Chains A and B, each alone.
Chain A
Amino acid sequence: MNSGIDDTNQTINIEIDLILDAIFQKYGYDFRNYSRAHVKRRLLHRLSSSHFKSISQMQHEVLHDPMFFQEILKDLSINVTEMFRDPKFYLALRQEVIPLLKTYPFIKVWHAGCSTGEEVYSFAIVLKEEGLYDRVQIYATDFNRNVLETAKKGIYPINRIKEFTANYQQAGGKQSFSDYYMADYNSVIFDQSLKKNIVFAEHNLVTDSVFAEVNIIICRNVLIYFNRDLQNKVFSLFTESLINGGFLCLGSKETIQFSNNAPQYDILNPHEKLYKKRIV
C-alpha cells in the first residue's frame, strides 16, 4: 500500500512538472516556481470536478483549448480577499506610515497582485480620510486580466458588506462605512470618486520587470505562493521600485527576513510586516 501511494504521487508530480512547462511555453505564465503543495491541490481539485482521468489529459486540453487554459489560470491564482483584511494592519498603516507619507508632496502607491481590488479600495479610503488622496497616484496590478476587470468595476456582493464594515471599524475608520458605497439588490458599488487616481494594469511579478518608482508597495498574501528563489527575485524587484525611505507592506505571515534584500530595510512594525527601505 505504501509503495502504491508513493508511486501514484511520483506520477502526479511528473505530470505537474509537464503541465506547468506546457503552460509556460504556450501562454507565458510561469507557475514553475510556485509553492508546489498549493499548485497540486488546485490542479487535483480541478481534475476531480472534471471528466478527465489524469493531469496529463488536462495538459492536452490546456494546449489545445485556450478557454480551458483560462479555467486553469483561475484555479492557479488565488483571488480570495476582503476589504480591510487584517484590520490591525490598516490601523498600523494609518498610525505609523501615513504620518511619514504626509511629508511628501506627491505619493505613488503600488498594489502588487491586487486581485479583485478590495484592498486597493480599502487603502484609497484611508488615503481619503487622511486628506492625502488628491496627491496620490495609485497603481493596482495583477497578472490576471479577469480579476482586474472586477477590480476596475468596484462592485462586490452585498453579503460581504457586514464583514467589510466590521473590518473597517476595527481598522480605525473615521466615518460610516456606508458613506463609501451604494447598495443595489445583490451588490454594492463603491464610490466612483475613489477610482479617480487609480490606474489598473496588467503586470506579472514573475516575468515582468520594474513597473514604476514608488513611495509604498503593498503586496499581501502573494509571496506565500512563491518558492524562496522566486520570493528573492520579487524582493529585488520591489527594492528597485521603491524610493529610498519607501515602505514595503507584506501579509501577516510574510517576511523579508530570509531574503538577500533584508539588510536594505528597517523593520517599522514586526507584527504587521511594515518595512522601510533604508536611505543609503
Chain B
Amino acid sequence: MASKKRPDPRALPGDPVLRRALFHSMLLQRRFEEKVGEAYALGKIGGFCHLYIGQEAVSTGVLSMLRPDDYVITTYRDHGQALARGMTPRGIMAELFGRIDGCSRGKGGSMHLFDRNLNFLGGHGIVGGHVPVAAGVGFAIKYRGGDQVIVCFMGESVVNTGAFHEALNMAALWKLPCLFVIENNKYGMGTAVERAAAIKDLDRRADAYQGMHGEHVDGQDVFAVREATERALEICRKESRPALLEIRTYRFMGHSMSDAVSGTYRTKAELDEQLKRDPVWMMKARMLEAGDLSEADVQEMEREIKTICQDAWDFADASPEPPAEALYEDVLVDTVS
C-alpha cells in the first residue's frame, strides 16, 4: 500500500514545536555531514566514510516516532541515524576522528557508531548481516514479554541477500516486533536497484511472508515517513508482528568518500533532478509557507547548528588518541556470572 496523499503545506501535521524539531534534526544532520566531508578532506577522518546527505527525512521521520526504550540497528551509513536518535555530535565526531571520547572509544569509526544508553545497537559493516541480529532483538523483546520495537535500517541492496530473507521469514514465523526499514537510495554502491533486484516495489518482498505488513513511501517527505512509520509501529507494537517499509530516497553524495558524485553510474542530469526534491529544503519551504518559520528563524537555526558542528570538531580534535593499552581492551570481558 502506498501513501498517495501529500499533505497540504498550509496544514502541516503536528504542532509547530514538533515541526521545528523535525527540521532542526534534519538540518543538523545535513550540516554535520558537510563538516564530516570537510574533515575527511583534511585527513582528520580516515577509512571508509559514507555520508547520509539527501536521506535525512528517513532517519528523522522514523526515529522521531520511537520510544526511548525501543531499539535501533543500522548499517555503515549511520551518522544521520545516530544524530536523529539523540547521540551527541561530539561523541560521533570524536569517533570519526578516532579519539578516546568517541561513542565507541575510537575502536569502531564511521561504520560502527554505538550507544548503549540510547539502545543504538550500532552501525554494521557487512551488507545484510545485521538483519538477523535485529530479528534476535525482536526475539528477546518477545521472550521478555516487553512491548518495545526494534527498527532495522538497511539499504535497498540488502533485499537481495539471504540474510534478509532468513531474518524476515523468522520474524514473520515467530511474530517478532521488528520494523524493517529499507532506505532505497537507488544505488548499492554503483549498481542501480533495477540492475540488482528482480522486483520493482521492494516493499512487496513482505508478501512472501504471511501476515507481514509492507508499504512504500516517499522518503523525501518527513511527514509521509512519519505516517507510514506510525502505521507500521502500531502493527509491530500492538500485534507483535513484523513490518517492512520501503522508504524511497536518494543519496546526493557518492557511495563513500572515494566515489565521484556523478558521471560513472548516474548522470549529472539525474542528480540535478533529484536535488530539486532535497528533503531539508522541501521541509524548509513548507514551513516558511505555513508560517512556522521566518527566514530569520532559519538563519538563527543555521547559526546555532554551525556552532554545534564546530564545537563537535573542536571537541574531537582536542580529545586524545586512545592510549596504547586500549589496543588490548574490549576483546573479551571478565566473566562475573
Asked if chains A and B come from one complex, the reply is: no
B binding-site residues for A, Cβ under 8 Å: none
A binding-site residues for B, Cβ under 8 Å: none
